[in-house]
Structure 1
Amino acid sequence: MSTEPRLAEVAEPEPAQKAAPGADQAVKETLEDYTLRFAPRSYRRWTPMVVATTALGGIAYMADFSIGAGIGLAHGTGNALLAIAVAAVVIFVTGFPLAYYGARYNIDLDLITRGSGFGYFGSVLTSVIFASFTFIFFALEGSIMAQGLKLGLGLPLWLGYLVSTLMVIPLVIYGMTALSKLQVWTTPIWLLLMVGPLVYLVATDPGTVDRFLAYAGTDGDGGVNTASVLLGAGVCLSLIAQIGEQIDYLRFMPPKTEANKRSWWTAVVMAGPGWVVLGALKQAIGVFLAVYIIAEVGPTAAPEPIQQFKHAFDAMMPSWLVLPLAVALVVISQIKINVTNAYSGSLAWTNSFTRVTRRYPGRMVFVLVNLGFALALMEADMFSFLNSILGFYSNCAIAWVVTVATDIGINKYVLKLSPHAPEFRRGMLYAVNPVGVVSFVAASALSIAMYFHALGDTLQPYSPVAAAVIAFVLTPLMAVVTKGRYYLRRTDDGIAEPLLDEDGNPSASTYECHVCRQRFERPDVAACRTHDAVVCSLCLSTDKVGDHVLPEAPAVV
């Protein structure tokens, strides 16, 4: 029997210890959308379908059209379609367990990663990977919008980059509340503008389909070959980290009950791994439109979505409407995805900074940091070497996502060496868990070496396959070797009430944090080391001297 204090309920606490610097600011700001912490039941007021619609609104980006076009123009339609399909299957399979955990336990991907093989500080590595994903794709979308503003309004590209960056700041300040309204209201307009011209072209000129299917590409002979498929799939797999942005919305799913389980599962599958179905369709459309316009604009401009939709609209409507509609589509798409990129990126940077420094500088600081990185990439003309950036990045992203998905699917449910319920609180986790960290570092390092031809030209196209296979094999192997020893620093958080209710959902009971004096639900608090009271997860993160952090205890998994 543990001799440490346990709390059946929160009694009147002793006088509160002085909050860590930045704690008051952190509490005020994070209560808007529960940045860096568990999303409580009291805040999750949306229905499953509203959450799903909001999450799917975030994938309205135009980058898919460029990615698909780039692969198709280089390797031909047959190789491109196979590459898109291979990547989609991998993304769906790995995204499912992550989406389920985010929706079921109401935490973001960084918090999932902490307890799924990486440890409290170990997941800082993957937070940086995810933050990089958000500013790379922000830059890509901003570049596409700048191309549209140049064509439609005559703005120079440098000014278009600046406009596309600054315009999202007012929208991203307000978190989930504002984002849900924006995504729900703009999605029907976006879908109509995207699908309308494609349906018209296929219906009025069936020959476009034949030309599309017969296109051989600039680098091949028209035949299907493994190297081309894998090179294309590697570029598409750079989008595997998109599941992190989907989970930033899915964490606000309501509790799963008997009454809502059908709509709950539909929403999780559709807005979680299901995002890739629409993504793959957009990539295929990008190939189709690029082939359709290549004779008129050439291979350099064909991957630009503004050119693709300008020519598609031109075939179906008066010329005076063409440019306004094409620019409108690009601007709506850029706003829909880049508010999500800016929001999710700010969460990832803030999360890492707060853990490492134990100080919360405010999420808006990192909105600006993320936008600064994105603007620098745009000004460096990243669009011209897009496939190289994405091909390199995908190796790191694949290694991370496959490691976490394998830990959930194999280590938790098959080997039972990883704790079933996710843990993310400081004091409950070891600083670094070798299971995830070793698997991720080994998989990403070896696959990057392959990508840069270090192991020969023949193996270079197989770098994304290597990243996935190494992560999949090493994750359970490391769990067996370490016997699951480094998942939990302790199993008892000092509170008698279980974390989960009788339905397996996170408990809605509330406790008052004796540092910030705010009430939080059961999964977001732990007993204090020095007071007969509880402390919330964010105040634990900003505790510089460790007065509140429970001591290490023998782990029982």
Structure 2
Amino acid sequence: MATTVSKSPETRAKRIFGGLVNNPVLEDYSLRYAPSGFRKWSEYGVAMAALGSIAYMADLAIGGSLAIQYGFTNALWGILTAALIIFLTGIPIAYYSSKYNVDVDLLTRGAGFGYLGSTITSVIYASFTFIFFALEGSVMSQAFTLFLGIPIALSYIISSLIIIPLVLFGMTVLSVVQKWTNPIWIGLFVIPIAAILIKDPQTVASWVQFAGKSPSGAGFNPLLWGSAAGIALSLIAQIGEQADYLRFMPKINPFKKWKWWFAVLAAGPGWVVLGATKQLMGSFLSSIAATHGTPLANANEPIHMYIAGFGYAFPAVALILAAIFIFMSQIKINVTNAYSGSLSWSNFFSRLTHRHPGRVIYIFLNVGIALALMESNMFSVLGTILGFYSNVAVAWIGAIVADLVINKPLLKLSPSYIEFKRAHLYNFNPVGFGAMVIASIVSVAAFFGAFGPWGESFSAFIALFLAFSLSPVIAILTKGKYYIARDPHYHAGTHHDVLNCTTCGFEYEKEDMACCPAHDGPICSLCCSLDKECHDMCKTVGSIKDVPVKCS
């Protein structure tokens, strides 16, 4: 996609986008504010699409791994502690994403990170999507191998390729897939647990006493609790995937505010209620799988959990039902992982290369990285990967939340709205970006033992505390001067008039537009991001008054 910018308006060529970008169904406004004209789903429809992605089996695998590694009690309190933190931090992110109709990357730009500062968080978020794609794909592949008897390496390839066609068409297809598979999934999810509790209630007592590999047995150990909570906190970035759906939330109906709020809370932070429940179920089912003869090394694999579970209800077809349930669950979540990853990579590369071939291209990149992780058997080192990742993810989310709940409403040093456009942002804002970097460095050092066993176990908590504390401190020290590079002409929250972009010629709502002196008129956020020749002249001293700009 070529870009031509000329000093003369008469000789300037229009920007030409490829077919993958011009098709709104394929592109799904991957780098933009989601306009009101495209947000045709109801609150219920958006919420069901967002909650459909919570069908993943990673929760079961994580819960099983925690119980096996740390014992029941430490796993229980670690899961509940992490769930509380994830729920509370998810509320402001869900609210701002839904109100201003932006994904988590655009939200990050306007919450103290700056235009280029958020490129780092794009990689953090992209890492979340391909790590969990690989984890979910591994779970599906284990089921393929056990059910079909094919090599695991081939199962990895199949599990990756079947996702791509489903995610090409973005929210248009994802909302349908999630809606129609939800009832079947819920039934298969509940039946094994109900059958176990009815036929063998003693399994609950065995679960409570389950020690796994823990040397201290099933009793409480604060170091093991901290480590378990840290691993569970790796799921804190899931709110980003929820925001990818919540950005399509319709405008609040003043007569039915409760309906909007209920959908936002349920589909936003509410995911962790089901997520924590599934982690506890994973610890429960792994203890049952272990008592049925599954080696501890394999008892955290959901396929073995559900073979044991369905064995109580339908022993003759337990393997078939377990395989169907695993396949459905993994498809429901990995379409979201692939979709969200494509959004994040699009944001990352568009800022660095000033090119955007289309969101669809990055689906293949994200799936390819995930496949490489699967083939390298990442499932065997699950705890280490998630424990390390959680430190950086928690620092990122902690810095965003501090800006949304302290710097904006209380200190009033951050703009009350979300400003995500390049034309109005500094490249780096030390408030969020600095807080995240410092918190990440310190917590990762703690994770690798720099501050002893207590620091290692509670490294994720260190990341959260530092990021949340440093953000307002840096905002006060800098007096908020690095949030806005120049006053916006159009910003989120204005009425929904449309303007023609002077570069590409398409119409966009004002929330997506900036006033551009280089092009002498309104410019859309994507064209602004991709411009290589303007050299940010709109943010230089005197440019606004010296260059005539035709913006209405």
Q: Scaled by the length of structure 2, what TM-score is found?
A: 0.94
Give 2:51's aligned amino acid: L
State the partner residue of 1:46: 41
Equivalent of 2:167 in 172, 179, 184 = 172
Offset at residue 18 of structure 1 (A) = 2.1
1:84 aligned onto 2:79: yes
Give 1:128's aligned amino acid: V
Matches of 1:16 and 1:260 in 2, distance apart?
A: 51
State the partner residue of 1:99: 94
Matches of 2:304 and 2:135 in 1, distance apart?
A: 15
State the partner residue of 2:532: 544
Gaps of 5+ in 2: 1-7, 543-552
Give 2:303's aligned amino acid: I
Kindly provide the CA deviation profile for residues 53-111 of structure 1, in whole angstroms up to 9, marking residues without a partner as x: 10001111001001001101121111111000000011011111001000000000000
1:511 aligned onto 2:504: no
Offset at residue 132 of structure 1 (A) = 0.3
Equivalent of 1:443 in 439, 449, 452 = 439
* 1:399–1:467 CA contact under 8 A, matched in 2: yes
State the partner residue of 2:29: 34
Kindly provide the CA deviation profile for residues 389-446 of structure 1, in whole angstroms up to 9, marking residues without a partner as x: 0000000000000100111000001111111100011110000001111100010111
Give 1:309's aligned amino acid: Y
Offset at residue 221 of structure 1 (A) = 2.6
Matches of 1:401 and 1:363 in 2, distance apart?
A: 24
Give 2:271's aligned amino acid: W
State the partner residue of 1:332: 328
Matches of 2:420 and 2:404 in 1, distance apart?
A: 14
1:311 aligned onto 2:311: no
User: 1:236–1:322: structure 2 CA closer, same or farther, 3 Å change rule?
Assistant: same
User: 1:548–1:384: structure 2 CA closer, same or farther, 3 Å change rule?
Assistant: closer
Give 2:478's aligned amino acid: T
State the partner residue of 2:354: 358
1:118 aligned onto 2:106: no
Matches of 1:519 and 1:301 in 2, distance apart?
A: 55
State the partner residue of 1:7: none
Matches within 5 A, 1:459-538: 459-493=455-489, 495=490, 499-501=492-494, 507-538=495-526
Equivalent of 1:193 in 175, 188, 192 = 188
User: 1:532–1:84: structure 2 CA closer, same or farther, 3 Å change rule?
Assistant: same
* 1:289–1:308 CA contact under 8 A, matched in 2: yes
User: 1:425–1:398: structure 2 CA closer, same or farther, 3 Å change rule?
Assistant: same
Aligned-residue RMSD, C-alpha: 1.8
State the partner residue of 2:375: 379
User: 1:32–1:22: structure 2 CA closer, same or farther, 3 Å change rule?
Assistant: closer
State the partner residue of 1:58: 53
Matches of 2:95 and 2:394 in 1, distance apart?
A: 18
Give the secondary-structure state (helix, strand or coil) at the position aligned to 2:218: coil
Offset at residue 271 of structure 1 (A) = 0.4
Give the secondary-structure state (helix, strand or coil) at the position aligned to 2:422: coil
State the partner residue of 1:150: 145
Matches of 1:323 and 1:129 in 2, distance apart?
A: 37
Give the secondary-structure state (helix, strand or coil) at the position aligned to 1:545: coil
Matches of 1:347 and 1:298 in 2, distance apart?
A: 39
Equivalent of 2:392 in 369, 372, 396 = 396
Give the secondary-structure state (helix, strand or coil) at the position aligned to 1:508: coil
Matches of 1:393 and 1:359 in 2, distance apart?
A: 29
Matches of 1:37 and 1:253 in 2, distance apart?
A: 15
State the partner residue of 1:10: none
User: 1:523–1:209: structure 2 CA closer, same or farther, 3 Å change rule?
Assistant: same
Matches of 2:526 and 2:23 in 1, distance apart?
A: 11
Gaps of 5+ in 1: 1-12, 502-506
Give 1:70's aligned amino acid: S
State the partner residue of 2:178: 183
Give the secondary-structure state (helix, strand or coil) at the position aligned to 1:477: helix
Give 1:392's aligned amino acid: F
Matches of 2:139 and 2:352 in 1, distance apart?
A: 35
* 1:490–1:553 CA contact under 8 A, matched in 2: no
1:254 aligned onto 2:250: yes
Give 2:425's aligned amino acid: L
Structure with larger RCO (C-alpha < 8 A, sep 6+): 1
Kindly provide the CA deviation profile for residues 128-184 of structure 1, in whole angstroms up to 9, marking residues without a partner as x: 000000000000001000100111111210010000000011111101100000010
Matches within 5 A, 1:283-298: 283-295=279-291, 296-298=293-295
State the partner residue of 2:548: none
* 1:17–1:514 CA contact under 8 A, matched in 2: no
State the partner residue of 1:132: 127
Give 1:336's aligned amino acid: K
* 1:102–1:250 CA contact under 8 A, matched in 2: yes
How many residues in Structure 1 have an aligned counterpart in Structure 2? 533
Q: Scaled by the length of structure 1, what TM-score is found?
A: 0.93
User: 1:200–1:487: structure 2 CA closer, same or farther, 3 Å change rule?
Assistant: same
* 1:19–1:539 CA contact under 8 A, matched in 2: no
Give the secondary-structure state (helix, strand or coil) at the position aligned to 1:490: coil
User: 1:28–1:16: structure 2 CA closer, same or farther, 3 Å change rule?
Assistant: farther
Equivalent of 2:415 in 398, 416, 419 = 419
Give the secondary-structure state (helix, strand or coil) at the position aligned to 1:535: strand
* Percent of aligned pairs sharing the same letter: 47
Give 1:181's aligned amino acid: V
